[in-house]
Amino acid sequence: MKIVVCVKQVPDTKGGVKFNPDGTLDRGAMLTIMNPDDKAGLEAALRLKDQYGAEVTVLTMGLPKAEEVLREAMAMGADKGILVTDRVLGGADTWATSTTIAGAIRNLDYDLIITGRQAIDGDTAQVGPQISEHLDIPVISYAQDIKIEGDSVIVERQYEDRYHVVKAKMPCLVTALAELNEPRYMTPGGIFDAFEAEITTWGRKNLKDVDDSNLGLNGSPTKIAKASDKVRKGAGEVVTLDPEEAVDYLMGKLKEKHVI
Amino acid sequence: MNIMGLEQYKGVYVFAQQVDNELSGIAFELLGKAKELAKDLDTDVTAVLIGNNVKGLVDELAAFGADKVIVVDDPELEVYRTEPYAHALSSVINEYKPEIVLVGATAIGRDLGPRVSARVATGLTADCTVLEIGDFPLVARPGQEQKHNQLLMTRPAFGGNTIATIACPDNRPQMATVRPGVMQAIDRIEGAKAEVIEYNPGFTPDNKYVEVLEVVKSVVDVVDIMDAKILVSGGRGVGSPENFQILKDLAEVLGGEVSCSRAVVDNGWLPRDLQVGQTGKTVRPQVYFAIGISGAIQHVAGMEESDIIIAINKDETAPIFEVADYGIVGDLNKIVPALTAALKAELN
């Protein structure tokens, strides 16, 4: 079985966010991590590898620096790493991103593609389903469990108040939830090997069946009109009180505001 | 990519999500917003109702603002599956050419929206919290055409650290998924009728039609925290699942509900349906008690629109105090039960 896992290097949003003048994210200026949902997807793939035997290829699109997440993935146990990077791909929205990644995946043999549900920078959850559409394969989003049965994948698909047990014939794309599992740590040997391992780098010319007009900032149908730091409502009163005083204080406020 | 003839795309369309033949709350919220947008564009509102034997829901959509309802009714659409639903909605878009399509940012809509937008080759903006009609670019720039009557879609990004306003000037329809709990439904109009259009594009199962082997509903009888007027929300600081009892007591005396932060769900103390925040639900009750919640930005993103925010936390540096109207630095284990007792005395 061949599994492709799509991972994204994302800014650690705890470290603050920086922008380019055009409103897109200045990814070079921030601390980065492997996106948590993607990491769970990778762990799911590695468990399938442990259980059934599989070749796991990790693929990322980003700046050259995004090679770091591929090495991390390989140190966890992935077999191959592919970096898709090219100046002309920059500023892509989810349409242009999914077009690019689908164009890269068309070069590969695969039974299963796993992406994270969503990345913590954009939070869109769109790229996984859009890749599946470009590749004309089924998608099962929001996976909380993934099993293989013959030539099919069986997934617990989460909804707000239920889950569905869904069966799809492979090839298929599954988007993983962070709560799917607890990702393993990199092993010291794995880190050593991953440092030495060869990473395949692809650019625009390696993308298959993709039109230039669908790539990068220019190929993105959505355009940023404005981006800004969120203006939050100001703090109100903060008081340090004994429990008894605190209750009097709160009762006063609740009456004042006609809550009681 | 550029679709010719943008002007032939007309009308504001809403995906009227139903589950088990019951319309989801988001369908009414989207209709409410669609009505405002349609007024600004001088056009009408169409609900797209997709399912099996769902025609009975048409009047309900009319009562909440749909001028027209396109019904796609087919046995293949009994339970939500990406492909037959994506085929249904994208066929409707290709046939009727709407200017705007709104989909709820639910576990269904966040799967359906991207698949459909990719199929009809247009942009999709995720999890919008503000939608309005305006110009793109916002301010005219030399050498660039300023387009009017564009859908401007505003959404939080980067874990709630920023907000971005996005347009889709050169493709139609303009598509957005919209965060539940943010838009307001209109007051019900009794006896309203909508024009009903039945449309079936034909459903031929192929490799993309997955099989639903089992539907497992959540066994707990869940309350919808998005409907609560008062929420008593607890975080890691509550300490244990047992200790949530003091929050439940407070909620009960005020006629409210208990909700929680992500940490509480991750610890397995409370079910996910009760989670407020970026990866949970967006709430805006009259009063939001944040008890033992530090106030990570992802949590704040889900509750900062509450009318009154009361925070109780022992750590005076907790970021929750930056958004609270009334913040108390103190011991929740003492303050919460005492407050409940005082309220009981006051209200009885």
Residue B118 to residue B124: CA distance in whole angstroms: 9
CB burial of A128-153 (b: ≥16 within 10 Å; e: otherwise) equals bbbbbbbbebbbbbbbeebebeeebb
Q: Are residues B41 and B178 in the same domain?
A: yes
Contacts A30 to B, Cβ<8 Å: none
Instruction: Using a CB–CB cutoff of 8 Å, tell me whether B147 touches chain A.
Output: no
Query: Has residue B209 been placed in a domain?
Result: no
Query: Has residue B1 been placed in a domain?
Result: no
Q: How far apart are the first and last CA of chain B?
A: 66
Query: Has residue B79 been placed in a domain?
Result: yes
Give the tens place of pLDDT for each residue, B259-318.
Answer: 999 999 989 999 888 999 888 888 989 899 999 999 988 899 889 889 899 999 999 999
Q: Are residues B152 and B281 in the same domain?
A: no
Contacts B205 to A, Cβ<8 Å: none
Give the tens place of pLDDT for each residue, A110-127.
Answer: 999 999 999 988 889 999
Instruction: Using a CB–CB cutoff of 8 Å, tell me whether B187 touches chain A.
Output: no
Q: Are residues B113 and B148 in the same domain?
A: yes
Instruction: Using a CB–CB cutoff of 8 Å, tell me whether B149 touches chain A.
Output: no
Element (H, E) at B61: helix B58-63
Query: Has residue A220 been placed in a domain?
Result: no
- Contact of B333 with B313, CB cutoff 8 Å: no
Q: Are residues B183 and B248 in the same domain?
A: no
pLDDT over 80 at A24, yes or no: no
Query: Has residue A50 been placed in a domain?
Result: yes
> Rounded mean pLDDT of A191-199?
90
Residue B321 to residue B306: CA distance in whole angstroms: 14
Total domains in chain B come to 2
Residue A116 to residue A114: CA distance in whole angstroms: 7
Query: Has residue B29 been placed in a domain?
Result: yes
Query: Has residue A36 been placed in a domain?
Result: yes
Element (H, E) at A97: helix A94-105
CATH number where B137 lies: 3.40.50.620
Query: Has residue A75 been placed in a domain?
Result: yes
Element (H, E) at A135: helix A127-135
Instruction: Using a CB–CB cutoff of 8 Å, tell me whether A133 touches chain B.
Output: yes
Residue A203 to residue B328: CA distance in whole angstroms: 55
- Put simply, the chain B residues between 232 and 251 with a CB less than 8 A from any chain A CB are none
Confidence of residue B2 (pLDDT cuts 50, 70, 90): very low
Q: Could A243 and B330 be called an inter-chain contact, meaning their C-beta atoms sit closer than 8 Å?
A: yes
- How big is the CA angle at B70 (ends B64 and B71), to the nearest 5 degrees? 100
CATH number where B299 lies: 3.40.50.1220
Q: Are residues B189 and B229 in the same domain?
A: no
Give the chain A residue whose CA is nearest to the CA of B268: A179
Q: Which of these ranges, A24-33, B40-49, B333-342, has the smallest mean pLDDT?
A: A24-33
- Contact of B109 with B26, CB cutoff 8 Å: yes
Instruction: Using a CB–CB cutoff of 8 Å, tell me whether B190 touches chain A.
Output: no
Query: Has residue A232 been placed in a domain?
Result: no
Minimal Cα–Cα distance from B297 to chain A, Å?
A: 9
Q: Are residues B22 and B159 in the same domain?
A: yes
A120 lies in which domain range? 2-214
Q: Give chain B's mean pLDDT.
A: 93
**What's the pLDDT score for residue A123?**
85
DSSP SS3 for B168: coil
Query: Has residue B215 been placed in a domain?
Result: no
Query: Has residue A25 been placed in a domain?
Result: yes
Query: Has residue B135 been placed in a domain?
Result: yes
Instruction: Using a CB–CB cutoff of 8 Å, tell me whether A256 touches chain B.
Output: no
CATH number where A100 lies: 3.40.50.620
Query: Has residue B119 been placed in a domain?
Result: yes
Query: Has residue B212 been placed in a domain?
Result: no
Residue A149 to residue A165: CA distance in whole angstroms: 13
Give the tens place of pLDDT for each residue, A219-245.
Answer: 999 999 998 776 666 678 899 999 999
CB burial of B308-320 (b: ≥16 within 10 Å; e: otherwise) equals bbbbbbeeeebbb
Minimal Cα–Cα distance from A206 to chain B, Å?
A: 20
Residue A234 to residue A246: CA distance in whole angstroms: 22
Q: How far apart are the first and last CA of chain A?
A: 63
- β-partners of residue B326 are A237, B310
User: Smallest Cα–Cα separation from A28: which of A64, A74, A70?
Assistant: A64
Element (H, E) at A256: helix A243-256
B317 lies in which domain range? 225-347
CB burial of A49-60 (b: ≥16 within 10 Å; e: otherwise) equals beeeebbbbbbb
Residue B179 to residue B100: CA distance in whole angstroms: 16
A13 vs B91, higher pLDDT: B91
pLDDT over 80 at B108, yes or no: yes
Q: Are residues B26 and B66 in the same domain?
A: yes
Residue A129 to residue A119: CA distance in whole angstroms: 13
DSSP state of B125: E
| Facing B326 at nearest CB: one of A130, A166, A236 | A236
Total domains in chain A come to 1
DSSP SS3 for B343: helix
